[in-house]
Structure 1
Amino acid sequence: MSSTPALTARQRWTGLAVLVLAVTVVALDATVLSLAIPSISETLHPSGTQLLWIGDSYSFVLAGLLVSMGALSDRIGRKKLLLIGATAFGAASLLAAYAPSAGWLILARALLGVAGATIMPSTLSLIRSLFPDDRERATAIGIWGAAATAGAALGPVVGGVLLGHFWWGSVFLLNIPVLLLLLVFGAWLLPESKDPKPGRWDVLSVVLSLAGVIGMVYAIKEGAAHGVARWDVPVTFLLGAAALTLFVRRQLRLETPLLDVRLFRDPRFTAAVTASLISLVGLSGVIFVVSQYLQLVRGYQPLQAGLAELPAFAGSVAGGLLTARIARRFGARKALTACLLAMGLATGTLGWLGQDTTYLLLAVAFLLVGTAEGVVYTLGADLVLTAAPADKAGAASAVSETAYELGTALGIALVGSVVGSIYAGGLAVPAGTDPAAAARAGESLGAAVETAHGLAPELAQPLLASARAAFVDGMNTTGLLAGALLVAAALLAWRLLRGLSGTTADGSAEVTAPAESKQVHA
């Protein structure tokens, strides 16, 4: 890594504040639309598939490009790419805010994903430059992790506040002043760093990684929604798997690979990436489904629904900030496993939610999910960063953030698709309903609510009752499935991190606390 001039403590922590701004706005954009889904349905009239892509396209593209952009930041400079990405993010935010149709909004969200992919890898790798001291870096990564998870959890709250006063596009305009602050203070305060011998940026590897991620995720999403009988599901899955296989084989041959896949030989690295991916599936899936449940089933206003999800935000901040202390006391293995189990149990409570279940149960589940996710993601990011060579910090941290964004996309895709499939199968349309209206109501709960507004009361009330019951059935099933997935992830993390349970302050034994040591004796 290129040398960085010595910075004062004030410069380091002020620089961290700039990076926190960056990661918060990117994470927030992954979930800020969750409460706007009903408004978008009413204004742009998207189909059920378009509705999922409005939520998914941002995270899919971001996940597909993060590794590539992380490697690019190692080559051209992390600060430079961060500032370029912030500018592009602002332009794409304007396009999204004023999108005239569902197709335009999907495109704008995809462009936001491209821009976000240039921002995220730079934030974590610049922390490594700002904080050479292990203990300081552990605290800094804790704050960074709190911002990343809190940004995702805060999205619905911010969305609720804005939607209470403005139209749905306002959730994107919020990005503009934040990005202006990032550009001004980032140019002034952040040091530049890059790999002094980066090698060339392999374009074919970029194409293969993007095609592989999007192809496989598309197949999983469509398969969950419509089954695997459709020809496009197995074809895109096989094409995506082939692209990822070629990507891995190419990385093993290249002198300077886009991603050093040998990093996965380190159990810390593999456990951290897996934990981050699966935990975000749980968190994003919960937020996506429950945001609709609160508004369309329980009748909350957007601001009410956002405030109802506030415990997840509070928990994620607390979890991120307490990660270093928890890991020092209990060890990375126990901390990671216990938090994944806690997330699994909390997510599984969705399996018992009804249309009139007390809010207290939901609040406790949100608090537990947010707190556990804050620890899992922050600890995972640190394990990834300390397992990688210093001059590959950008590419390695991009893997951690790819897991974050891919988990977010998969959570929305899988949970949304399963809920949609169960909803469509369970919806009973009253006899006498116009076929076009019935077809529209079958696309999503939001579409059913909108359709009911144009029906006579004797048809509208039974349609709404059936739609809400079918949606809750879908939510119950996916809550149990997501809970089981998180429990399986906990068992996998426990197995992968065998031997990493002892620690000393100087790191002479096996690593358990974040960033406390760079040597592991497995």
Structure 2
Amino acid sequence: MSSNISERASALSKPRRWAALSVLIFPVLLISVDNTVLSFAVPAMTEALSPTGNQLLWIIDIYALVLAGLLVPMGSLGDRIGRRRLLLIGATGFAIVSAVAAFATDASQLIAARALLGIFGAMLMPATLSLIRTIFPDATERRTAIAVWAAAFSGGAVLGPIVGGLLLEHFWWGSVFLMAVPMLLPLLIGGLVLVPESKDPNPGRVDPLSIVLIILTLLPFTYAIKTFATAPWFVLVASVGLAVLSGITFVRRQLASESPMLDMRLFKNAPFSGALMVNLIGVFSLVGFIYFVSQHLQLITGFSPIQAGLWMTPGLVLTMLFGLVAVALSRRFGSPNIMALGLVFSAAAYLMVLLAGDHLSAPVLMVAFAVLGTGIGMTETLSNDMTLAAVPASKAGAASAISETAYEVGSVLGVAVLGSILNSVYSTRLLVPGSLSQEQAQLAGETLGGAHQVAASLNTGDAQALLASAAQAFDHGVLLTSTIAATLSLVAAVLVFRVIKPAIK
């Protein structure tokens, strides 16, 4: 029966295949909108919930952190119980929890809701990509389908700032979460009608210990990176130690198993491993850029949420466009060359920020983000396709989960590493007026949004002095994080030429 299910998924008519893809776009669109909207809702959330700097990072990070820890187990579960079934379960849970998150009354409640969203999000993402792998057996069609899938991320990023900006100007911050409910209804209906079920015909037994080990590898590791600037040293050492020990045990267990949850031999494939690294670094660069530019445009330049969203729209449109263009370019020039070019574009975007120095302006940021979007569009489409093409369709769920894990770990690291460094530099360089109380000084030193909160209660002179210092301290942190992101993008470009390109030839 399982084998017949997989065969039917691969033997759909062409109209049915593309109709099914249109349904699978909705969860991707939703998650992209959710991530972008949240970045733009940071100032409003800060004002309403008064989170600490660490809590603010947790609100943004906890979703991706939990999701990263569960993607591989959920991808394996989808291979076993059916990818469509897992997708529909995830969609239902995601919609319900999104509605709950909208009415959180403090930072802790919102962090908990975001963690639950991570659990259900882990059901959505591997299922969509693995279903594409089984629905589109033809390599050219699959690459185009993945380009559309990747473009949906960009499309959601375009819609997020605009729709979210309208919501934030007319309603409370929680309204941005309510978008999930109407967006998931087409998936729940169309998924039952148009999307075929597929699963691994020989999935093997469920291995609970492997599930626990992969979670204990990814969660402590991402936690240590996220809190390296604030957590006690012994907590960081313990977290990294647990992650390393669990990871080694997990790898040894998979290599010894006849039906491993994750086939570790895949990582010997240079295009597979290299594409994962390119995927991770690309997302790292994108998320880190959005984290600081959304705050700069609103809190330093003074734009409203919708104005900031409109200024970022050209870059997001180019991400979507070049995700599609990359398919044609790869046929002519080869996927490795186009991936490397995309990484060079990403590095160039951050170098533009560095060259602007202390004179960052909205036009400079818009152009830099457009250059970044062009590069990300090329790298993400081709790196995802290269990852999936390396495995048979029956293992699509596991491969998709690995690809999505790289994506989400990149997202976590983008905010955790760049965000933590940015916050640390900001706190160190901020000069507060002597008239501030200890509590006001602490709040202003936590985040840029906190400084604006404090400034609202000060006299004009002190308020201007605080905001000027906050803007300078924030932008100084941006220069440091830009250096890191540009360097990593160039290193990844070298990796493509040294590791991926020779293997493909």
TM-score over 0.5 for the alignment?
yes
Q: Distance in 2 between matches of 1:137 and 1:438?
A: 54
Name which of 420, 442, 445 aligns with 2:445: 442
Partner of 1:108: 113
1:44–1:102 CA contact under 8 A, matched in 2: yes
Amino acid in the other structure paired with 2:447 = S
Whether 1:210 and 2:210 are equivalent positions in the alignment is no
Quote the offset at 1:240 in angstroms. Answer: 1.6
Aligned to 1:144: 149
Q: Is residue 59–residue 406 contact of structure 1 (8 Å, CA) maintained in 2? A: yes
Cα separation, partners in 2 of 1:143 and 1:56, compared to 1, 3 Å: same
Count of residue pairs brought into register by the alignment:
500
Query: SS of the counterpart of 1:309?
Result: helix
Runs of 4+ more than 6 Å apart: none
Contact 1:31 1:284 in 2 (8 A): no
Hey, what does 2:134 align to over in structure 1? 129
* Letter paired with 2:118: G
Partner of 2:7: 3
> Is 1:484 aligned to 2:487, yes or no?
yes
Matched residues, percent identical?
A: 47
Question: Residue 93 of structure 1: which of 82, 86, 98 is its match?
Answer: 98
> Does the residue aligned with 1:336 lie in a helix, a strand or coil?
helix
Aligned partner of 1:181 in structure 2 is: 186
The answer as to 2:281 corresponding to 1:288 is: no
Mapped partners of 2:311, 2:253: distance in 1: 47
Counting only pairs closer than 5 Å after superposition, residues 7-406 of structure 1 correspond to structure 2 as 7-152=12-157, 154-223=159-228, 225-226=229-230, 230-353=233-356, 357-406=360-409
Pick closer, same or farther for the CA change 1:180–1:441 going to 2, 3 Å: same
Decide whether the 8 Å contact of 2:33 with 2:156 is kept in 1: yes
Q: Does 1:496 align with 2:499?
A: yes
Query: Which protein has the bigger helix share?
Result: 2
CA shift for structure 1 position 285:
0.4
Separation in 1, partners of 2:252, 2:411: 27
Select the residue among 451, 454, 464 that pairs with 2:454: 451
Shift of 1:132: 2.2
User: TM-score scaled by structure 1?
Assistant: 0.93
The answer to whether the 8 Å contact 1:445/1:467 transfers is yes
The Cα shift of 1:48 comes to: 0.7
- How far residue 103 of structure 1 moved from its aligned partner, in angstroms, is 0.4
TM-score, with length taken from structure 2: 0.96
Equivalent residues of 2:126, 2:404 under 8 A apart: yes
Give 5+ residue unaligned stretches, structure 2: none
1:503 paired residue number: none
Is residue 85–residue 118 contact of structure 1 (8 Å, CA) maintained in 2? yes
Structural mapping, 1:394-473, within 5 Å: 394-473=397-476
CA contact (8 A) 1:149 1:373 kept: no
Check conservation: 2:151, 2:323, Cα contact below 8 A: yes
Root-mean-square deviation (CA, aligned residues, Å) is 1.6
**In 1: Cα distance, 2:374 partner to 2:162 partner:** 17
Counterpart for residue 505 of structure 1: none
**Structure 1 contact 337–494 (Cα < 8 Å) conserved:** yes
SS at match of 1:199: coil
Distance 1:137 1:477, change over 3 A: same
Does the Cα contact within 8 Å between 2:274 and 2:500 map onto a contact in 1? Answer: yes
Cα deviation, 1:76-120, whole Å, max 9, x if unaligned, reads 001100000000100110111111110010011111111111011
Moved more, 203-212 or 392-401: 203-212
Contact 1:157/1:306 (CA < 8 Å) preserved in 2?
Answer: yes
Q: Is the 8 A contact 1:349 1:479 kept in 2?
A: no
> What SS does the corresponding residue of 2:433 show, helix, strand or coil?
coil
Please give the alpha-carbon distance, in whole angstroms, between the structure 1 residues aligned to 2:31 and 2:496: 27
Distance 2:342 2:424 in 1: 30
